[in-house]
Amino acid sequence: MHSLSITQQAEAVLAALESDGKRLRRVQKALAQLENDPRHPGLSSHAYETLKGPLGEKIWESYVENNTPSAWRIWWYYGPETGEITVVEIGPHP
Q: What are the start-end ranges of the E strands in the chain?
A: 3-6, 46-52, 58-63, 72-78, 84-92
- Structural element, H or E, at residue 31: helix 21-36
Residue 21 has a pLDDT of 86
**Whole-number mean pLDDT of the chain?**
93
Assigned fold of 3-92: YaeB-like fold (3.30.2310)
Which residues are within 8 A (CB) of 93 and not within 5 positions of it... i.e. 6 or more apart?
70, 71, 72, 73
CA gap 73, 82 in Å, rounded = 23
Examine the pLDDT at 42 and tell me if it is beyond 80.
yes
pLDDT-derived band of residue 86, with 50, 70 and 90 as boundaries? very high
Residue ranges of domains in the chain:
3-92
Examine the pLDDT at 16 and tell me if it is beyond 80.
yes
Residue 60 has a pLDDT of 97
